[in-house]
Structure 1
Amino acid sequence: MTAATIDELTPPEDSTRRVPGNKGIWAGITCEFVEFLVLFAVYFIARAHFPDAFHEGAQRLSVVAGTTITLLMITSSYFIACSVNAIRQDKHRAAVIWLVAGLIIALGYPLTKALEINWNLAQGINGESGIFFTVYYYLTFTHLVHATWGILGILWVMARLVFHGYSSKDYAGLEALASYWHATDIIWLIIFPLFYVLA
């Protein structure tokens, strides 16, 4: 292997030390994690005091809805990551296509959640159906709010991307969006098993 080949494979020194996105988005992500840390503490305290209610409540939820939301979050995160990868290579059209795909899949989350809530209400499940459902609605609605902010962020970033607001030299905004969406995705991957699988 020649010295030139080694240089090509070695990333620039500053790229290994750069924080993706910007400081502002990481402050927001930190606040999001702290908020959900408190909510998860409430979940475990309530579960410790009412184990039977949590076990019985989980049996009444739609696992199909929870699984669908999980697949939508993972897929949209992947598409947005592909958009970031494309803009890094100055593939503007591909970046737009991937981001549009990410938005379409992300919009499936609130749609699925609305259908799930309608199904829950038809089964007589609401926020007053017991401690399990009170915690369930509070946590999942809070997550939906954060996801809605993320969807609004996708729309804003997409508008900038379409008008060439990002390039391989400056794509911090797109990367910040991806970081926030991935963080929201990670939180859902914790919520899903706690309510739909393990309770």
Structure 2
Amino acid sequence: MSEVKADQYFVPHKAKWPIVGSVGLTTTVVGAAHLLNSETAMTPWLMYAGLLIMIVMMFGWFGEVIKESEAGLYNTDVDTSFRMGMIWFIFSEIMFFACFFGALFYARSLSVPWLGGEGTGLSTNNELWNGYEGVWPTNGPADLGGKFEILDPFHLPLINTMLLLTSSITVTIAHHAIRINNRTQTVIWLAATVLLGAIFMYFQIAEYIEAYHLNLTLESGIYGSTFFLLTGFHGMHVTLGAIMLAIITVRVAKGHFKPENHFGFEAVAWYWHFVDVVWLGLFIFVYIL
């Protein structure tokens, strides 16, 4: 395939992957909904089938994009489109986590104090939960899940914070290395970033085990719900980011990307920095405050 001219915009034809992705996503969601609301033996397999379709779609679609990029079919206009798409994607992820941080703020700063009797003219404490003290952390007025202990923020959470901050440095060094066309250094520092992400996930699993030993579970009222919701989704993003970084590492080792043209690398680096910033918010507002 010949390279696209500067005034041409490459448009793929007969792309099958969007409809494959739609089928996979629909199957996954329907399967997950049935899994939560029924006991049929087929339910989990429907969700697994949807996830398998999604994995096949991602390998196929991303593989085609890589082939098109390496064939020189993308010009600066296409590159701009990719950048705008990634910016909007990260913005949507910011809004995604903003909703959960908003739920944490509402529960901690408004709902719990109101139920504890704060606020002029409010009688929620007397009418609903007389005697309830609106202190944080709490499992709620009904004492859902029983008493629990909170995690020490300066143990595993602090270690994970240092790991992610260090990973931001390593991925930045890798970015600098690819810009000066030093592939060996790029691979080394990318691999270090992937390793740090994997260690982070190991410690988060260890942290969850410790939390359950302290009786802090998803059933521990509002604190348990917000804790596992925020940290769980963040952990999922770290896992996805580490997988993407591993793929980029393999691509760099195979000779992909140029010092002046490596947006695939940059996009993943942007995503990783976003994940790191979200964790700093989690460390401050979930663990410390």
TM-score range, shorter chain: 0.7 to 0.9
Runs of at least 5 residues in structure 1 that lack an aligned partner in the other structure? 1-17
Aligned to 1:3: none
C-alpha deviation, 1:56, in angstroms: 5.8
C-alpha deviation, 1:173, in angstroms: 1.1
Aligned to 1:151: 242
C-alpha deviation, 1:59, in angstroms: 6.4
Q: 2:90 aligns with which of 22, 29, 32?
A: 29
Aligned to 1:47: 108
Alignment identity in percent?
27
State the 4+ residue runs in structure 1 displaced beyond 4 angstroms: 56-59
Q: Distance in 1 between matches of 2:276 and 2:160?
A: 10
Letter in 2 for 1:46: A
Aligned to 2:3: none
Q: Distance in 2 between matches of 1:53 and 1:117?
A: 23
Contact in 2 for aligned 1:53/1:132 (Cα 8 Å): no
Q: Distance in 2 between matches of 1:55 and 1:118?
A: 19
Aligned to 1:9: none
Contact in 2 for aligned 1:92/1:167 (Cα 8 Å): no
Aligned to 1:62: 152
Aligned to 1:84: 175
Contact in 1 for aligned 2:190/2:246 (Cα 8 Å): no
Contact in 2 for aligned 1:110/1:144 (Cα 8 Å): yes
What is the RMSD computed on CA atoms of the aligned residues? 2.0
Contact in 1 for aligned 2:149/2:214 (Cα 8 Å): no
Indicate whether 1:161 and 2:161 are aligned: no
Q: 1:93 aligns with which of 184, 193, 197?
A: 184
Q: How many residues align?
A: 180
Q: Distance in 2 between matches of 1:129 and 1:56?
A: 8
Aligned to 2:272: 181
Q: Distance in 2 between matches of 1:154 and 1:96?
A: 10
TM-score normalised over the length of structure 1: 0.84
SS in 2 for 1:54: coil
CA offset digits 1:140-168 (Å, max 9, x no partner): 10111111111111111111111010221
Larger Rg: 2
TM-score normalised over the length of structure 2: 0.59
Runs of at least 5 residues in structure 2 that lack an aligned partner in the other structure? 1-78, 114-133, 140-147
SS in 2 for 1:186: helix
Q: Distance in 1 between matches of 2:245 and 2:285?
A: 28
Letter in 2 for 1:129: S
- Of structures 1 and 2, the one scoring higher in RCO (CA 8 A, sep 6+) is 1
